[in-house]
Structure 1
Amino acid sequence: MRTDRLIEQLARDVPPVPRRAVGWRLALGIVGGGMVTIAAIALLLGFRPDLDLAMQGPNFWMKWAYTISLGLLSIHATARLARPDEGRLSAPWLMLLPLAALAGVGAVELMRAPPADWLAMWLGHSWRVCSAMVFLLSAPIFIGLLWSFRRLAPTRLRAAGCTAGLAAGAWGATLYCLHCPEVSAIFVLTWYSLGIALAAGMGALLGPRLLRW
């Protein structure tokens, strides 16, 4: 039997895939993992006692603007890499825009503050644990994304693992904001970003092993 005839017969009874199937699959993985992360925060760390008041101020939304925008961009990149027909990312530099925007906010904060306060703004009260917490809280979300990939077909496994880890780190950081009281942009830029980068690096390391199909 000719190859093209065999392919035609194999594909004859295959139902069409919904257009947004990949996006919904990844969203389910993130939501499922995110619920585990929220439970971990509630049981092990606790939510900010002043969360209602904090959500009325700009600093809380500054952190969420950074982490959510990075999460959305990275999950979009993950969705593209989850398809076997996608050989490259379009405009990967877009994922640097949230970082650049937050760096601009941090620079303005430093210019307005006396130099004697810069170290305290950078280190905050939790710099020793912040990056580790973001990294650990991203793990359930990354596991949820691994579940999503069970019905997907990535071909660039390391890149897909990296963007999945980046997405998990960004959404883990988003949920960590419900506990973290830090308000400085330079703190978030440094220690949140480090935790997110660790998650992306772990994803790149594990991608070729865990995303193979």
Structure 2
Amino acid sequence: MNTDDLITKLSVNVPKVGRHAVGWRLVIGLLLGALVAGTAVVFFLGVRPDLHIAMRGFAFWMKWTYTISLSLVALAVTAQLARPDSGSIRWLWLLAVPVTLLAGAGVIELTRTPPGKWLAMWLGHSWMICPWIVLGLAIPIFIGLLWSFRRLAPTRVRAAGAAAGLSAGAFAATVYCVHCPEVSAIFVLTWYSLGILLAASLGALLGPRLLRW
């Protein structure tokens, strides 16, 4: 049997796959992991007692807009890299948009704050633990995405792992917002982003080992 005949034989009676099947599978894996991360926040960290008040303010939605935007873009990139014919990554440049907007908000904050208070604004009360909490919360979400990849066929496994880690980190930061009382844009830009980058780095490290097929 020659190659063309083999390809023809293998392609007979192959069931059609929905156009959005990859995206939906990734979303399911991400939400399952986020459920575990959310449970960890509720039972181990605690929901901030003034959450209902915080959700009426700009700072809370600034954080959520930032983390959710990163999550959506990273998930779109992950969905593209989950395919064997991923091609060039089309949506990666969009990650710069929320980062730039948050940096702009941080600059505005600094111009309205006396220089003597800049360091306190940047470090907040939890800068030493914030990135590590985000990374810890990202782990169950990353595991959920790994479950999603079981029926997918990535060929650029390191890039796919990094994108999955970025998605997990950004969504973990979204979940963490319900506990974290920090309100400064430069705090979020620095320490939330560091936790997200740690998750992406972990994904890049583990991708070649865990996403092979």
Q: State if a TM-score over 0.5 links the two structures.
A: yes
- The equivalent residue for 1:23 is 23
Instruction: Trace 1:36-75 onto structure 2 (pairs within 5 A).
Output: 36-75=36-75
Looking at structure 2, the residues matched to 205 and 54 of structure 1 have their Cα atoms a distance apart, in angstroms, of 37
* Aligned partner letter, 1:109: E
Name the stretch that deviates more: 181-190 or 89-98. Answer: 89-98
- The equivalent residue for 2:120 is 120
TM-score (normalised: structure 1): 0.98
1:20 to partner: Cα distance: 0.4
- The equivalent residue for 2:79 is 79
Instruction: Trace 1:181-192 onto structure 2 (pairs within 5 A).
Output: 181-192=181-192
- Determine helix, strand or coil for the equivalent of 1:127: coil
1:91 to partner: Cα distance: 4.6
Which consecutive segments of 4 or more residues in structure 1 shift more than 4 A?
none
* Aligned partner letter, 1:152: L
Q: Would you say how many aligned residue pairs link Structure 1 and Structure 2?
A: 213
Please say if residues 81 and 88 of structure 1, whose CA atoms lie closer than 8 Å, have aligned partners that are also in contact.
no
Looking at structure 1, the residues matched to 99 and 34 of structure 2 have their Cα atoms a distance apart, in angstroms, of 23
Looking at structure 2, the residues matched to 94 and 56 of structure 1 have their Cα atoms a distance apart, in angstroms, of 27
What are the superposed Cα offsets for residues 64-117 of structure 1, whole Å, 9 maximum, x if unpaired? 000000000000000000000112201522212111111000000000111111
Please say if residues 70 and 95 of structure 1, whose CA atoms lie closer than 8 Å, have aligned partners that are also in contact.
yes
Q: Which runs of 5+ in 2 are unaligned?
A: none
What are the superposed Cα offsets for residues 163-183 of structure 1, whole Å, 9 maximum, x if unpaired? 100000000000000000000
Please say if residues 76 and 91 of structure 2, whose CA atoms lie closer than 8 Å, have aligned partners that are also in contact.
no
1:9 to partner: Cα distance: 1.2
Q: Structure 1 residue 153 and structure 2 residue 153: aligned?
A: yes
Looking at structure 2, the residues matched to 162 and 96 of structure 1 have their Cα atoms a distance apart, in angstroms, of 16
* Aligned partner letter, 2:108: V
- The equivalent residue for 2:166 is 166
Looking at structure 1, the residues matched to 154 and 175 of structure 2 have their Cα atoms a distance apart, in angstroms, of 27
- The equivalent residue for 1:141 is 141
Query: Alpha carbon RMSD of aligned pairs, Å?
Result: 0.7
Looking at structure 2, the residues matched to 96 and 166 of structure 1 have their Cα atoms a distance apart, in angstroms, of 14
Please say if residues 158 and 204 of structure 2, whose CA atoms lie closer than 8 Å, have aligned partners that are also in contact.
yes
- The equivalent residue for 1:202 is 202
